[in-house]
Amino acid sequence: MKAIVIGSTKHALFFAIYGFIGSVIALLVAIVWLLNARAELDPWHTTHLTQEFHQQSAINTFTEYLTLEDKLFAELDSKIYQQYIPEIPSVINRYESGSLSDPNIWDINWNRSFEWQNEQAEFGVLFIHGMSDSPYAISHLAKEFKQSAHVLGLRLPGHGTIPAGLAEITWPDLVSAVALATSHMKAKLNGKPLYVVGFSTGAALALNLELERIASNKSADYQGMVFISPAIGLAPIAAGAKWQALLGNVLGYEKLFWNSISVEYDPFKYTSFAVNAGDVVYQLAQRNLDIVQLLTQEQKQHIPPVLTFQSIADDTVSSAAVIQNLYQYLPENKHRLVVFDINRNPNNHQLITNDPLNEMASLWADLPMNYQLNMIENDRERDHYVQERIFVGGEVKAENGMPLAWPLGVYSLSHVALPFPELDPLYGPHYQKQNPHIQIGQAIFKGERGLFGIPAAEMLRQKWNPFYPYMIEQMEQFIKPSAQ
C-alpha cells in the first residue's frame, strides 16, 4: 500500500513538473509568435552604418569625432535616402526625401552635433540629449545660453541616423563620446568653468563621467550639472530586456531585437526602439548606483552641485529613483531638486488610479533630505495656476505664487515634455503656417481604434512644458551667477 502511495505521488509530481514546463514553453511560443507577428522591418531597422563611432574607434579628439560624423551622414544618404524606393510613398516618413518628416527640409538638421563658440563667454555649457533622441531635444535649452556661453550640443553615437544604430551601441560608446566633447570644451575654455545639461540618458552619462573621476580621486570636470528627466533608474522589468534579444539571436528572429517597430514620422527622434537601447540605459544606471554607493563621504563632497527637474509622472524612467539612487547620497547645502506635480484639479483627481506622490512622499519622509526641494503644484487659491513650495531640510521654507498655469485638458507633464517650450515648431500645440514640416504637436486624430499607424497613447502624450519659463529661470540662476 505504501509503495502504491509513493508511486502515485511520484507520478503526480512528474505530471506537475512536465505540465509546468509545457506551460512555460507554450507561453514562450505565444510571446515569440506575437513579437514576430508585428510590422515588417524596414531598411532603417536592418542597415549597418560602418562610420558610426564606437569606443574602439581610433578617434582621440572631438574634431576627429565630427569628421567621422560627416562620413556617417554621407553613408546614411547613400545607403538610405538614395536607395529607398517605397512601394507606397508616405508624406510622413523621415527617410523619404522631401516628405514632411524629412529632417533635411529644416533650416538646420538638428540630428547633427553643433557648437556655438563665443569669445566673450566666461563659461561653457555642454548639452547631451537622451536615448532615441537627437540634439534637437536640447536645442531650445542651448539657444537660451547662446549669447552668454560657449555652447556644444553633442550627437550621441547611434542617434540622429537610423534606429538600427540603437541595436549596436554600448554605454561605454556613449560615455566615450561625452568624454571627447568634455575634453574639447575644457580645452576651448582654458580654465573657465564648464557646466553640463543632460536630458534623460544624457544626464546619466554626464553623471557617470563625473562619478568615475571622483571614484578615482580625480578632480571634477563640471562646475555644475543640470539634469532633466534623468535616467537614474528604470522599472525592474528593464533588467529582462537582454533576454528578449538573446532569444531573438538564438531563434534568428530579428524582430525580437525590437521593443517597438513603428512608423518613423519624427524627423529628430526614433519611434522604433531597440531592446538593446533599454538594456544600455539599465546597465548605465546600475553602474552609477554602484559607484555612488561606494564613494566615501569625503569623495561625495567633490560631486558638483546638481540641479534636477523631474516630472512626478514619468512613464520612461523612475521618478522615485532620482531620490533613492542619487539624491539620498548627496552631501548637504548645494543640490536642488525641482519636482513637477500632476494637475490636481477636482475633475482630474477623481480619475487618478495610482497617485505617484504617495511613493515620493514616503521617500522624503524616510530618506536623508540634504537638498532643497522645489515642488511645483496647484495653487489652491487660484484655479489652474501653480505655486512653488520650497522645502529645506524637510521643512517648508516658502510658498511662492507663480504666473504660470496648467493648460486646459492637461493633467500632467511627461518624460519627454520638459525641454520643449510652448512655441516649439515640432511638438508645440500651435499650428505654425510658415513651417513646411510636420507639426507633431498638432497630430491628435480621432476615430476608431486599431486603424491608425500612430498609437493613441503617443498622440495624447504631453509633448511640451507649460512651465518651461520657470525651468529656464532656475537654470540661469544656477549657472550664470556661479560662473561669474
Q: What is the pTM of this model?
A: 0.91
Q: What pLDDT, on a 0 to 100 scale, did the predictor assign at position 9?
A: 63
Give percent above pLDDT 70 in the chain.
88
Instruction: Band the pLDDT of 2: cuts 50, 70, 90.
Output: low
Q: Where are the domains of the chain?
A: 1-37, 45-420
pLDDT exceeds 60 at position 25: no
Q: What class, spelled out in words, does domain 45-420 have in CATH?
A: alpha beta
Q: To the nearest whole percent, how much of the chain has pLDDT over 90? A: 75
Task: Tell me the per-residue pLDDT of 299-355, one tens digit each, with 9 for 90 and over.
Answer: 999 999 999 999 999 999 999 999 999 999 999 879 999 999 999 988 777 778 889
Find the largest Cα–Cα distance for the chain: 96
pLDDT over 70 (residue 1) = no
pLDDT tens per residue across span 187-229? 999 999 999 999 999 999 999 999 999 999 999 999 999 999 9
What is residue 27's predicted lDDT score, i.e. its pLDDT?
A: 42
pLDDT, tens digit, for every residue of 341-390?
A: 999 988 777 778 889 999 999 999 999 999 999 999 999 999 899 999 99
User: Which pLDDT tens digit goes with each residue over 304-315?
Assistant: 999 999 999 999
pLDDT band at 33 (very low <50, low <70, confident <90, very high): very low
What pLDDT is stored for residue 30 in this prediction? 44
Confidence of residue 11 (pLDDT cuts 50, 70, 90): low
Q: What is the pLDDT of residues 34-86, one digit of tens each?
A: 444 446 899 999 999 999 999 999 999 999 999 999 999 999 999 999 999 99
**pLDDT top residue among 99 and 248:** 99
Mean pLDDT, all residues of the chain: 90
Q: Which of 242-251, 392-401, 451-460 has the lowest mean pLDDT?
A: 242-251
Q: Give residue 439's pLDDT.
A: 93
What mean pLDDT comes out for the span 130-140? 99
